[in-house]
Copies of this chain bind each other. A is one copy, B any other.
Amino acid sequence: MRNCKDHKTCINEALIKAETICKQKGVKFTKLRKQVLKLIWKSHSYVKAYDLLEELKKIDSSAKPPTVYRSLDFLIDNGFIHKVQSLNAFVACTHPQEHKECYFLICKNCKSIEECCSEKISKVMNSEATRNNFNTNQVTLEISGICQECIN
């Protein structure tokens, strides 16, 4: 996402993929939900709910908080976006349906956010949970710092 060459194509591919997944799952990818996902994808970074609401109002002036939050809920539930807990923000998922335990690298400098997967981390996390007799349901792993680009 960060290094995409043509972000418009990138967005369109994501929307088509979402459409396909929704069809498979038998859930409705309504105009509103599509618009919200598109707005989130438009950002190369994370977005805040109320910023999203402002954007949405430009398209449909009657949009209100529940309009946004319901769509966000749908998109989260179906794996098209993630909530970034430490920022109260939302980010497009770069590989829906393909992963379970991902983590985020959040650059405090350029506000970029990268979604990463790692077998290693998943394994260690599982072994830790097992060691504690804990039945894991959801993992939140958010790493804040300075990204590659901003270090140099």
Query: A residues engaging B (CB < 8 A)?
Result: 85-86, 103, 105, 108, 114, 116, 118, 120-121, 124-125, 127-129, 132-148, 151
Given contacts A85-B86, A86-B140, contact A134 B121 (CB under 8 A): no
Number of copies of this chain in the oligomer?
2
- Nearest B-chain residue to A133, judged by Cβ: B148
- Nearest B-chain residue to A127, judged by Cβ: B120
Give CA–CA (A121, B127) in the complex, Å: 10
Residues in B neighbouring A125, C-beta threshold 8 A: 121, 143
Q: Does B121 lie within 8 Å of A124, measured CB to CB?
A: yes
Given contacts A125-B143, A138-B144, contact A133 B120 (CB under 8 A): no
Q: Does B124 lie within 8 Å of A151, measured CB to CB?
A: no
Q: Does A137 lie within 8 Å of B133, measured CB to CB?
A: no
